[in-house]
Amino acid sequence: MITPVIMAGGSGTRLWPLSRAGHPKQFLALNGDKTMLQQTAERLSGLPISESITICNEEHRFFVAEQLREIDALGKIILEPVGRNTAPAIALAALLEKEDDPLLLVLAADHVIADQDAFTGAVLKAVPLAEAGKLVTFGVVPSEPHTGYGYIEAGDPLEGAYSVASFKEKPDSTTAAEYLGHGGYYWNSGMFLFRASRYLRELKTHKPDIASACEAAMGTVSNDLDFIRVDTEAFTACPDDSIDYAVMEKTSDAMVVPMDAGWNDIGSWSSLWDVSDKDNSGNATIGDVILHDTTNSFVRADEKLVALVGLEDIVVVSTKDATLVARTDKVQDAKAVASQLKREGRSEWELHREVYRPWGKYDSIDHGARYQVKRITVNPGAKLSVQMHHHRAEHWIVVSGSAKVTNGDETFILSENESTYIPIGKIHALENPGKVPLEIIEIQSGSYLGEDDIVRFEDRYGRVSQK
């Protein structure tokens, strides 16, 4: 059996303003109805797999749990206290499965693969190699001299695969063209297959400091709801390194299996244009879009009408609170905008106007110096934490559904068009006891309206109180 290991970290800042630190690309539906994480999990359906392991950070844990639960693929979820790159993350999964010692299929949660049969075939071809003790990576058959990917140079052939002669860093355009013309070079996909014990043995040989830190981190684990927590202090002390540098470039047993499956890592908006359906003028559009005399462009309109006139090779992405306009050949620099927003302390680098929480979501639809208006959606059966605020009062107005409200010593039900007032300092809670989503309008007023003005007394999602 194969145990899938899905790496769900990363921020995807090149896909700003849709992908943000608090809601990165792997949890977005970029090229279909399912999120990239869900597509990754469903891609495994043709393989003989056991329960999957997904690795993510603390902040994104509820995205992972809810999205995998939606497609009945929850599995095990390991929480990284801090990001330490792929080599330590994979070691956590290998140590978790140490007793059964399965083959681990390591996948990124943010890749697109158009041909699932070709993906399945490549993985099955790699299984005998991994069972024989090889560390297999999958090399994407290149379709162009791409400068945005690392390359793998194939060596001697063996059972439909090749030994790895060398790993190459992202090349310049001349070198990439030489690779393509020469043949025997593949894009480095970042996907791997090997036995858990084999990986741990190689890691211990080449990076004993990482191996020992991960062993210490897994020495004390705890279960929290759907999540597996490792020892924070031990893992924080772990060096930061990728599996390529830590193991694959050093081992003598690396093999590459070619994969020609329509792979794309969606590293930028131009990459998404590559895999999108286009009209006769080469335009890919999502949402309410009007184009006139426009060619070879990507336009996404999430909230309002967007019109382009007389343009070519343009990317426009419009969300509720931000709009990106860029030339196709400069669109990767969207990450520079995100970095500037972070330096300036603006929220748009991290969060959307619409923010998802384990109980539902809220949309900050208006704000001023001493007030803020939110539209809050609470999922059926969900409950916000029992909490209070030092600096703000709140008015709640039910728009649809039924609300079970705790307001101080009182608990009561509010129906559509009914409301309540929560004074500053009053302990309160909001719950949806019904079978349909609850929507309320919340009007906050006070001297400080930040999300950190929350003291949690009880919380079914295990979030730590902020005092």
Residues 202 and 144 in one domain: yes
- Backbone φ/ψ region at 210: left (φ over 0), alpha (ψ -120 to 50), beta: alpha
Could you tell me if 244 and 386 lie in one domain?
Answer: no
255 and 280 together in one domain: no
Residue 171 tokens read as 């090349």
Same domain, 148 and 162: yes
The strands making up 371-378's β-sheet, listed across from edge to edge, are: 354-357, 360-367, 371-378, 438-446, 392-400, 419-422
Confirm if 167 and 244 have CB atoms less than 8 A apart.
yes
Residue 83 lies in a domain: yes
Beta-sheet pairing, 254-259 with 185-195: unpaired
- The answer to whether residue 347 sits within a structural domain is no
Report the predicted TM-score, pTM, of the whole model to 2 decimal places.
0.91
Contact 287, 276 (CB under 8 A): no
Does residue 348 belong to any structural domain of this protein?
no
- Please tell me whether residues 359 and 454 are part of one structural domain: yes
3-state secondary structure of 390: coil
> Are 238 and 296 in a shared domain?
no
> Are residues 296 and 258 both part of a single domain?
no
User: Are the beta carbons of 378 and 356 closer than 8 angstroms?
Assistant: no
Shared domain for 241 and 279, answered yes or no, is no
Tokens at 281, concatenated: 């003028």
Q: CATH number, domain at 168? A: 3.90.550.10
Q: Are residues 54 and 181 in the same domain?
A: yes
Length of the chain as a residue count: 467
Q: Note whether residue 141 is domain-resident.
A: yes
- 320, 342, 364 — which closes off a domain? 342
Which DSSP state fits 148? S
For residue 296 the two structure tokens come to 């070879």
Whether residue 260 sits in one domain with residue 273: no
Q: What is the CATH number of the domain that holds 431?
A: 2.60.120.10
Report the domain count for the chain.
3
Domain finish residue from 232, 264, 296:
264
Each residue's pLDDT expressed in tens, for the chain with a length of 467 residues? 999 999 998 877 899 999 999 999 999 999 889 999 999 999 999 999 999 999 999 899 999 999 999 999 999 999 999 999 999 999 999 999 999 999 999 999 999 999 999 999 999 999 999 999 999 999 999 999 999 999 999 999 998 899 999 999 999 999 999 999 999 999 999 999 999 999 999 999 999 999 999 999 999 999 988 899 999 999 999 999 999 999 999 999 999 999 999 999 998 999 999 999 999 999 999 999 999 999 999 999 998 999 999 999 999 999 999 999 999 999 999 999 999 999 999 999 999 999 999 999 999 999 999 999 999 999 999 999 999 999 999 999 999 999 999 999 999 999 999 999 999 999 999 999 999 999 999 999 999 999 899 999 999 988 765 44
Q: Which domain holds residue 453?
A: 354-458
Domain boundary among 314, 342, 370: 342
